[in-house]
Structure 1
Amino acid sequence: MRSALRDEPVSVLDRILAILDTVRESHGTTTITQLALATGIPKSTVSRLVGDLIRQRYLTRAEDGVVIGLRLFELGARASTPRRLSIAALPVLAELFNATGEHLNVAVQEGRDMLSVISVRGRLRPVPSRAGVRVPSATTALGKAVLAFTSDESILASVMAGLDPQRRHMLERELATVRTESVAVDRCETFPGVVGVASPVLSPERLPVAAISVAGPVTNMDANRMMPLVRHAALALTHRLALQVA
C-alpha cells in the first residue's frame, strides 16, 4: 500500500484515483480505515467517495472491505482485450469470419451475465454487442454454452431463479442438449431479428473458459450450417489456449 506520509490528494479526481490505486495495489480487500491511512484522505471523505464508487460499480463490497469492481474491467475491455485469450483467438476468429462473414464474439462469464472481450463486426447493423458489453446468460447462445458446463452451482441457480417455471424447464432441456452437442442457439431471444450460435471453450477439466459465437440476421442466418463451424472454432481456440500453457 501507499505511504500515509505523502501529501493528501487535493482534487476530487485525485482522491478517487488514489483510492482506486490503493485498492488495486492491495491485491485483495481493503477497509475504509486502511484506505484513509494509506492515502492521507480523511476517513469521512473516503467513506463518502467509496460509497459513490460502489454505486457506480467501480468498487464492490466484500466481506472484509471493498475490492475493484466490474465496471473498471468493462472499461478496460473496451480498450484492450485480455492478452492471452486475444492472442489465441484472433487467428481462429479470422478463419471463422472468412467462412461466415457474420458478427463474431468471444465472451467470458461474469456472474449471471456474459462479458464480451473480443468482437468482430459482420453484416449486422446495428451491432448487437461489442467488447466490454454484458449480455444475459439465460437467453444468449454464449451464455447457454457456458452455463451448460459451469461448475458454479450458485450462478446456475441464480440464473434459473429469475425465470418462470416454463422458461426454466426449457432452459434446463437446452443446457442438457448443449452438454451433448457442445453448441447452443439463440433464436431471436436476446436481440430481435438476430440468431446466434455459440460453442464453449473448455479447459482440460471440461470447465468453461469462454465461449465463441457467430450472430447474423434471422432472414439469412442458417443456424444448422453455422453449428459445425462454430464448434470447430471453439475446439481450435481450446487447443491454442492449451498450447500456451504447455
Structure 2
Amino acid sequence: MTAARKPAASGRPRRGGRPTVTSRVLDILEAFSAESAALNITQIARRAGLPLSTAHRLVGELAHWGALERDDRGLYRIGLRLFEVAALAPRGFALREAAMPFLEDLYEATHENVHLAVLDGLDVVYIERISARDAVHVLSRVGGRWPAHATGVGLAMLAHADPALQERAIAGPLRRFTDKTITSGRQLRRVLAEVRRTGVAVSDGQVETFALSVGAPVFGPDDEVVAAVAIVVPSDGWDARALTPVVRASARGISRALGAPRALRPPETALHGR
C-alpha cells in the first residue's frame, strides 16, 4: 500500500512564477522514496519535473556535497550527509536517545512492533521502530509517514495537538484504508475525546485489518505533545486493555526524561487533556 505521489514542485517557493534553485533541489530530493530508493539521472529529471541538463548539474552538486551518492551502475541514492544533518533535528536524535530505554522495555513486553513517531501536519513520521523477525507485519518504516487519523501514534498526538490542527483533521478528507478506518469527522472528534479521557489511543484494523495498535502521547518540557509511542500486535489474540498500562507507562517515562512537568504529577492527573 503506497501513498499517492504528489506532483513535483507543488507548493515550492517561486520567484516571479518560476521555480527557484532551492525548490528544484528539494524536488530532486523528493524524487526518492522507499519504493524508488535508487534512480538514474533520467528518472530523477522526470520525477522532479526538470530538464535533463538542469537535473544533471544539480545532482552533480548534491553528490559532491554528499546529499546524494552514485553507485557503480550510475544510480543515485540519498547520501549519508543528509542523515548526519537530519540527526541534528530536535525531534530526531535527541528524542530517540531519550526514548530508547523505554522503547526497549516496551518491546520486551510483547516482542512485537514498537513505534516512536512525531506529528508533521496531519501525518505521522516514524523516527524509530523495534521489531522482531516474526512480529506481525506492518507497513511502517523509519522515515515513513502515514495519515494520523488511522494510526495509534497519530490519534494519540492529534488528541493533544493544537485545536486548530484537530479541526483541520476533523474537517477531512479522511483517507480510508480498511472498513475499520475512521472516515467521518464526527467519529474522529469522539475518538480524540476518548483518547484524552483514557490517556491511550487504539487503532484496531484501521491500516491493516490484522494489526492492533495501542499508542500514548509523549510530552516535552513545555507540556506540549512532541511525539507518541505505540505497540503494534496481531489483532487476533491480543486485548488492547492488557497493553494499555505498559504503553502509558512508557510514554510517561519518556515524557519525564524530556522534563515534562505533567509527567512529574500523579498518573491520574496526567491523563486529563488540556
Shorter-chain TM-score tier: 0.5 to 0.7
8 Å Cα contact 1:151-1:207 kept in structure 2: no
Q: Of residues 155, 158, 172 in structure 2, which corresponds to 1:162?
A: 172
The offset of 1:97, in angstroms, is 1.0
Aligned ranges 1:1-16 → 2 under 5 Å: none
Q: Of residues 139, 142, 146 in structure 1, which corresponds to 2:153?
A: 142
Is 1:132 the counterpart of 2:143? The answer is: yes
The offset of 1:83, in angstroms, is 1.7
Q: Of residues 233, 238, 249 in structure 2, which corresponds to 1:216?
A: 233
What's the CA shift string for 1:117-159, capped at 9, x where partnerless? 0110134343321210101111111111001100251x32322
The offset of 1:242, in angstroms, is 1.3
What's the CA shift string for 1:14-41, capped at 9, x where partnerless? xxxxxxxxxxxxxxx98769xxxxxxxx
Is 1:191 the counterpart of 2:208? The answer is: yes
Is 1:119 the counterpart of 2:129? The answer is: yes
Is 1:92 the counterpart of 2:97? The answer is: no
Task: Name the SS for the 1:242 alignment partner.
Answer: coil
Partner in structure 2 of residue 104 of structure 1? 114
What's the CA shift string for 1:142-191, capped at 9, x where partnerless? 111001100251x3232222247972111111111111111000010112
Q: Of residues 16, 26, 34 in structure 2, which corresponds to 1:53?
A: 26
The offset of 1:57, in angstroms, is 3.8
The offset of 1:192, in angstroms, is 2.4
8 Å Cα contact 2:214-2:230 kept in structure 1: yes
Is 1:181 the counterpart of 2:198? The answer is: yes
- Matched-pair identity in %: 28
Q: How many residues align?
A: 188
Distance of 1:233 and 1:203 partners within structure 2: 14
Distance of 1:93 and 1:49 partners within structure 2: 37
Partner in structure 1 of residue 51 of structure 2? none
User: In angstroms, what is the RMSD of aligned CA positions?
Assistant: 3.2
Task: Name the SS for the 1:138 alignment partner.
Answer: helix
TM-score (norm 1): 0.66
The offset of 1:219, in angstroms, is 1.4
What's the CA shift string for 1:195-240, capped at 9, x where partnerless? 0000000135432110000001111222111011100000000011
8 Å Cα contact 2:136-2:233 kept in structure 1: no
Distance of 1:55 and 1:170 partners within structure 2: 39
Task: Name the SS for the 2:216 alignment partner.
Answer: strand
Distance of 2:251 and 2:242 partners within structure 1: 15
8 Å Cα contact 1:104-1:212 kept in structure 2: yes
Opposite residue 23 of structure 2, the aligned amino acid is: V
* Pair 1:49–1:145, CA change in 2 (3 A): closer
Distance of 2:197 and 2:29 partners within structure 1: 40
Structure with higher helix content: 1
Give 5+ residue unaligned stretches, structure 1: 1-28, 34-43, 59-70
Distance of 1:86 and 1:51 partners within structure 2: 31
Opposite residue 50 of structure 1, the aligned amino acid is: S
Give 5+ residue unaligned stretches, structure 2: 1-11, 32-77, 175-181, 261-274
